Amino acid sequence: MLHTLMHSPAYSDLDTLLLLLNAEDDVLLMQDGVFAALNGSRALARLLSTPATLWVLEEDLMARGLAEQTSTKIQPVNYNGFVALTEKHSQQMTW
């Protein structure tokens, strides 16, 4: 399943998202969800402890001036990569 985190982790049900993740899942951080990719954040530590693959939308990082502050442990993806993730997963959930 593809999980898209579009809201700041402070305003999302991150606990439930984390409970649902498994190794076949991808998580894409986009819009204000990119704040979860910040180095040293609690949300980042919690996401990295899951078996899911983590992605962050480059355009949203740049729009918020956060490109230099994000973890290298999360893979950046552009809009073409976002489309590829949606094609890969028939089921998607937005947070």
User: Which pLDDT does position 87 carry in this prediction?
Assistant: 97
- Computed from CA positions of residues 30, 44, 76, 62, in that sequence, does the dihedral angle turn out positive or negative? positive
Place of tokens 């910040």: 38
User: Which pLDDT does position 44 carry in this prediction?
Assistant: 97
For residues 85 and 83, give the distance between their C-alpha atoms in angstroms, rounded to a whole number: 5
Q: Which CATH number do you get for residue 15?
A: 3.40.1260.10
Number of domains forming the structure of the chain: 1
Domain that holds residue 77: 2-94
R_g of the chain, CA atoms, integer Å: 12
Taking only the tens place, the pLDDT of each residue in 15-70 is 999 999 999 999 999 999 999 999 999 999 999 999 999 999 999 999 999 999 99
Q: What tokens appear for 90 in the block?
A: 């028939």
User: Which pLDDT does position 32 carry in this prediction?
Assistant: 98
